[in-house]
Each structure stands twice: as structure tokens, then as C-alpha cells.
Structure 1
Amino acid sequence: MRSRQEIQERVAAANAEFYQAIETGDIDLMGRVWAEEDQAPDLVCVNPGWPMLRGRSEIMRAWSLVMANVPYIQYVLTETHVGVSGDVAMVTCEENVLTAEDDNPGFVAGGQVVTTNLFIETDQGWRLWSHHASPVMLQEDGEGE
């Protein structure tokens, strides 16, 4: 019997692989991160500014486009929390995102996104079932004072 801490660590590792796949542009790793349709029906992915994506093939096609068109992206995750109930786990976190949107060296944009990632335990380990990311509206200097 695995301890709750060990299970949470495995889920956290699966979550880290998701972000590693994006940062390194590794579509093969992204394919291993997401569950198969027979393991988790109705896979869903919501990224800020995108329509809801349903199904593994639609999700993988979208990530392929992102990886092919974003020259640089880095995530600094904060406020990460892992909850587990049986064979389902939920990771909530804040994504602090740095990205280059064109080929100009030194051009970097940033933003913050709050995210919920749902995982399901499979024979291959913990796999992503749902990713939902929503942008956080940052206050301008001087607002709210």
C-alpha cells in the first residue's frame, strides 16, 4: 500500500512532465502525459483565449501547433496543491508564464494563469484527463490603493 505522500509525489511528477513537455516542445512526452480515450473518456483542455478542446486527437493537434509556433516558454509554478481521491487527482496551481512571441532575442512577455489539472491513475501511471487554465487580471500600479 502506497502512502498518501508517495501518491501525491507521483501526481506532482506527472504534472511537472506536462510543463516540461510544453517548455521543451516535446510532443512525444506530451502524448505520454495525456491519458488515452479508453482510460479517461471526454478528455478536455482549456487554454486562455482558445476554444474548449475535446478528445485526444484535437488536444494533441493543438499542442503541436503551440509547440511549433512559440519559440520560448517557461513556467514558474506557485501555490501548487495536490489532492487525491482514489484513482483521481487534482492539481491546482498558479502558472507564472514567460514567453517570447517572436524571434526577437530579448523580447519576453509575462502573465499569470490559474490552473486545474485533473489526473487519473492508469496502468502506465498518473495521466492527464483535463487541463483548464484561466488568465489572472493583474492590477496596474496604483490600482486598488
Structure 2
Amino acid sequence: MERVAEANQQFYSSIETGDIDLMRRIWAEEDQAPDLICVNPGWPLLRGRAEILRAWSLVMANVPYIQYVLTDTHIGVHGDVAMVTCEENVLTAEDDSPGFVAGGQVVTMNLFTRTEQGWRLWSHHASPVLLDDDDDEDETGGEE
């Protein structure tokens, strides 16, 4: 499980540092895992290695700063497949703003496949956590 955790951390490190070469090493090749997919909040489904890497290249070229604080991480391994679930607490910077803006919270499932080169990403699926301020008020005795 330690190697899976390392592969998962490398995925996020590649985004934070804008290292597209590391991102290329993280994703499996088409012959290692069928039907590579990537789903990010607000994006259409990306299918296939070329489409996925092209999209990440655009993100890396256009996001001046991004940092992931991963919480509630769970890893499961069954044979040559591993699943990592976690919460991404995302910090990002606006293009023209000197300060940082919290990008929100995202729940994620990353699937990895074991290859001769180690664990490689097969699927990344991220979904935003929508927080409803009205629910918070109801729970704390606020008006309904």
C-alpha cells in the first residue's frame, strides 16, 4: 500500500509543480489499462491518454498556483488494482489577485493498476462537495 500512496502523492505533486513529464509517468499507457478516464469538477469526461494529458497540460499552463491538502485518505488493493479515495482540500490563486482563494473541497477516487514500471493511474474521478449554508444554520438553531 505504501507504493500506491506514493503514486497517488506523485499525481498531486505533478499538478502542484506543473510537471507534465511526471504526469506522463503517472498515467498508465493504453495497453496497461483499458479505457483510461479522467473526470474533474466542471469538465466533460476525458477519455484516453492523449486527451487526458492534453487537458492536464492546459491546466498546468494556466493555473498560477494550486495546492492540495489531502484528508480522509483510504487505500484498498486487490491483486493488480488499487483504489484510493480521499478529500482534496484545494487552495488556488486567482490570475490577477495577490492573495489566495480557497478552491473548495472535492471527493476523489483514483484507480491504479500495477505495471512493470510500478503503480500507474488508470482513472481519476473528482466531484465537488457542495456545502449548503442553510443546513448549517438549521443545525445550530438558526431560523428555518
Q: TM-score, normalised by structure 2?
A: 0.92
Q: Which residue is equivalent to 2:101? A: 108
Of 42, 45, 62, which aligns to 2:38?
45
- Map Cα deviations across residues 66-85 of structure 1 (whole Å, 9 max, x no partner): 00000000000000000000
- The residue aligned with 1:94 is 87
* Cα pair 2:91 2:100 within 8 Å, conserved: no
Length, aligned pairs only: 138
| Equivalent position amino acid for 1:51 in 2 | P
Cα distance in 1 for residues equivalent to 2:43 and 2:69: 21
2:56 equivalent in structure 1:
63
Superposed CA deviations along residues 86-130 of structure 1, whole A, max 9, x for unmatched, are 000000000000011313211423200000000000000000000
Query: What's the secondary structure of 2:91's corresponding residue?
Result: strand
Q: Which residue of 2 aligns with 1:18?
A: 11
Percent identical among aligned pairs is: 82
Pairing partner for 2:137 from 117, 134, 143: 143
| Contact 2:70 2:89 (C-alpha < 8 Å) held by counterparts | yes
> What is the RMSD computed on CA atoms of the aligned residues?
1.1
- Could you tell me how far 1:133 is from its partner in structure 2? 0.1
SS in 2 for 1:108: strand
Q: Normalising to structure 1: TM-score of the pair?
A: 0.92
Native 8 Å contact 1:71 1:103 kept in 2? no
How far is 1:144 from its partner?
Answer: 3.5
**Structure exhibiting the larger radius of gyration computed from Cα positions:** 2
Unaligned runs of 5+ in 1: 1-7
